[in-house]
Amino acid sequence: MSERFLVEAVNDALHVEMERDSSVMVMGEDVGVLGGVFRATAGLQERFGADRCVDTPLAEAGILGTAVGLCMAGWRPVCEMQYDAFSYPALDQLINHVGRYRWRTRGGMEFPLTIRMPYGGGVRAPELHDDSPETYYVHTPGVKVAIPSTPADAKGLLAAAIRDPDPVVVLEPKLYYRAAKEEVPDGEHVVPLGQARIAREGSDLTIVAYGAMVHVALAAAEAVGDEASCEVLDLRSLKPLDEDGLLASVVKTGRVVVVQEAPRVCGFAAEVVAVLAERAIFDLRGPVIRVTGYDVPYPYWQIEDAYMPSVERVVDAVRRVLSA
């Protein structure tokens, strides 16, 4: 075990996986000499050379498009998108090819690529450095999505993504890149996709969250205090979704608040609520309430705190469910 920041755990995972498998390569803007704008890829080019840690042209669709061809040539590319909102040009490749090519070849070819990017707000950044784009990815057939909230999961989920035979998008909560050092297993560490984690045990209500919002959910559970015993379920992976883990928690508590940073309409919280409506309606003892970003463009940073789901908003939602 070593104490590491979340971004250091990402870096550790890349070192370990590149050491373990010589077909793993890292590519992206400024990932080589600079080691990434957040230093997530620091030291990789020195260690593995410029052919396996590649500084690419500033072209996100080109990064993902050539990564498809690299897979066909036998590589396992790990593509860094420098920021959440900068990944949108690559959606064409993601939707039309990354998610379809395996199916299109009837399983003849695999596309074990990973796309990783820092996501989310609260970092006082210029416009379009703050998005939570997970819905676009989760909605794309053929693509899996993981979002860690802790340093250990950041390492383990990224390792799982790199080893997975399917394309996986990993969103890393940049607000927590260097928030706190936590224990991270040394060497090989894999957290399987599709296994949610109980971040806090409770019996009266489940707060479902992922990524940065797990921290808000935990703070809200504390703030609720003796009013209710809140469980916090960290989904960790949105696809595959750990429906059994979700249902087990809801059977126990009967009350649910779902928190997501992304705008509300058709966001992943809506999917969680739909799963509960289909599979847990008779276990529920009250309405399921979503706490999400608002359906507006992510705002200027002087007022971004008013947009972000806050501890106060989550506590308010918990009280509404409890009193219903």
Asked if 164 contacts 146 with a C-beta cutoff of 8 angstroms, the reply is no
Asked if 232 contacts 200 with a C-beta cutoff of 8 angstroms, the reply is yes
Q: Which is nearer to other proteins, 279 or 313 (CB)?
A: 279
Q: At what angle do helices 311-323 and 213-224 cross, to 10 degrees?
A: 60
Q: Name the one range near other proteins by CB under 8 A: 69-77, 223-231, 304-312, 314-322.
A: 69-77
Shortest Å distance, C-beta 206 to other proteins: 20
By CB under 8 A, tell whether 297 contacts other proteins.
no
Q: Which is nearer to other proteins, 52 or 255 (CB)?
A: 52
Q: Which is nearer to other proteins, 277 or 324 (CB)?
A: 277
C-alpha 235/C-alpha 245 separation (Å) is 9
Within 10 angstroms of residue 22's Cβ, the number of other Cβ atoms is 11
By CB under 8 A, tell whether 109 contacts other proteins.
yes
Q: Name the one range near other proteins by CB under 8 A: 50-58, 129-137, 214-222, 300-308.
A: 50-58
Distances (CA, A) of 233 to 42, 88, 146, 210: 32, 29, 14, 8
Handedness of CA 122, 123, 127, 132 (dihedral sign): negative
Q: Going residue by residue from 194 to 213, which x/- string records binding to other proteins, judged by CB under 8 A? A: x-------------------
Q: Going residue by residue from 215 to 234, which x/- string records binding to other proteins, judged by CB under 8 A? A: --------------------
By CB under 8 A, tell whether 93 contacts other proteins.
yes
C-alpha 254/C-alpha 8 separation (Å) is 38
Among 36, 133, 142, 267, binds other proteins (CB under 8 A): 142
Q: Which is nearer to other proteins, 32 or 254 (CB)?
A: 32
Closest-CA residue to 54 (of 26, 86, 73): 26
Q: Name the one range near other proteins by CB under 8 A: 11-19, 38-46, 89-97, 262-270.
A: 89-97
Q: Going residue by residue from 176 to 195, which x/- string records binding to other proteins, judged by CB under 8 A? A: ------------------x-
Query: What are 206's strand-pairing partners?
Result: 231, 256
Within 10 angstroms of residue 166's Cβ, the number of other Cβ atoms is 18
Q: Is 129 a catalytic residue?
A: yes
Active-site pick, 129, 139, 189, 215: 129
DSSP state of 91: H
Q: Name the one range near other proteins by CB under 8 A: 34-42, 51-59, 248-256, 303-311.
A: 51-59
Among 20, 47, 104, 178, binds other proteins (CB under 8 A): 104
Residue type, 313: R
DSSP 249-279: HHHHH--EEEEEEEESTT-HHHHHHHHHHHH
Tokens of 236: 């960790």
By CB under 8 A, tell whether 65 contacts other proteins.
yes
Among 20, 103, 222, 305, binds other proteins (CB under 8 A): 103
Closest-CA residue to 63 (of 72, 51, 55, 73): 55
Q: How many CA atoms lie within 13 A of 49 on its CB side?
A: 6
C-alpha 136/C-alpha 116 separation (Å) is 14
Among 5, 38, 48, 101, binds other proteins (CB under 8 A): 101
Q: Which residues are annotated as catalytic?
A: 129
Binding site for other proteins (CB under 8 A): 25, 51, 56-57, 59, 61-62, 64-75, 89, 92-93, 96-97, 101-110, 141-142, 144, 164-166, 194, 239-241, 243
